[in-house]
Amino acid sequence: MNLSIENLQEMGAFTGAPVEKEVTWKQGDKELTATVYVRKMSYHTARSDVMAARGAHDGLAGRIAACICDADGKSVFTAEDVTGEADPERGALNENLVMALLNVIAEVNGLGKAKPPRQGTSTTKRRSGTSS
């Protein structure tokens, strides 16, 4: 196969449009709900991960900033918005909201969905080294 936009598109190598999700979190006595759009992990996420590895920003904040977007795919937050560095007076995002956002990011990207191996089955046969 030759690498081309058309071939990659046929194989599903692009992330496509953001996925609409609802998040619910507790803030004080209130339970709040909001509609968010989640960008599947892609170039944006890889770039953010590299920046975090270099110490440019917090890894979790970068993941939220890379994945949470509007319906058109434009980022809603910067990593500094999430951590509160962008506006110290406003502060960081509420912990419960951060966890809700991380949960929908994981859900959209299928993280943590690996199936455990089936009990009682093995794909490799071992020989004891002795003949009977």
Query: pLDDT 10s per residue in the chain (132 long)?
Result: 889 889 888 888 877 789 999 999 999 999 999 999 999 887 778 888 888 788 877 889 999 999 999 999 999 999 999 999 999 999 999 999 999 999 999 999 887 655 555 555 444 444 555 555
> What's the pLDDT score for residue 114?
55
Are the beta carbons of 66 and 39 closer than 8 angstroms? yes
> What's the pLDDT score for residue 121?
47
> Residue 118 gets which letter from DSSP?
P
> What's the pLDDT score for residue 15?
75
pTM higher than the cut 0.85: no
Are the beta carbons of 36 and 68 closer than 8 angstroms? yes
- When the candidates are 3.40.50, 3.30.2220, 2.40.50, 1.10.620, the CATH number that belongs to 15-109 is 3.30.2220
